[in-house]
Amino acid sequence: MAGTLQFDLVSPERRLASVAASEVQIPGADGDLTAMEGHSPTITTLRPGILRAVSAEGTKAYVVTGGFAEISATGVSVLAERAVPLDELTPVTLDALVADACEAAAVNSDKDAADKAVADLTAMRVAAGL
């Protein structure tokens, strides 16, 4: 097994995770990417999606909406606007997220981006199996 990298997931309100992970799958704005030890330093924005961190304790999945990830050779910090562990995700919270996105889409001047966010969330619902 390859070396590990420090994975931090923080939302504005709390720190959700801080573990040594072997790989982190990130839903980047331009497509998914997986960060492992020795990844070249990258900063990417996030689209709403599922973030997975593989560590010695197993794989943990989180639902994130918006924010950005800072990847360096030794660590990944994900700053998510909102993050919920996948096990805690219920159809109700997901509905609330979709409703928020729809609301944002209604007022947002950048129609494409907002519509994309809604579509991403809908796709996520399928992926999460809810």
Partner 1 sequence: MPSLKDLKNRIGSVKNTRKITKAMQMVAAAKLRRAQEAAEAARPYAERMNAVMSSLAAGVGKAENAPKLLAGNGRDQVHLLVVMTAERGLCGGFNSTIVRLARQRISELLAQGKTVKILTVGKKGREQLKRDYTANFVGHVDLSDVKRVGYVNAQNIAREVLAAFEAGECDVVTIFYNRFQSVISQIPTALQVIPAMFEGGAANALYDYEPSEEAILADLLPRGVATQIFTALLENGASEQGARMSAMDNATRNAGDMINRLTIQYNRSRQAAITKELIEIISGAEAL
Does position 6 interact with partner 1 (CB under 8 A)? The reply is no
Site for partner 1 in 61-120 (CB under 8 A): 66-68, 70, 72, 77, 79, 81-82
Taking the C-alpha atoms of residue 37 and residue 7, their distance in angstroms, rounded to an integer, is 11
Does position 22 interact with partner 1 (CB under 8 A)? The reply is no
Strand (E) or helix (H) holding 114: helix 111-128
Does position 37 interact with partner 1 (CB under 8 A)? The reply is no
Of 70 and 127, CB closest to partner 1? 70
Taking the C-alpha atoms of residue 10 and residue 15, their distance in angstroms, rounded to an integer, is 4
**Binding footprint of partner 1, residue count (CB under 8 A):** 26
Of 72 and 122, CB closest to partner 1? 72
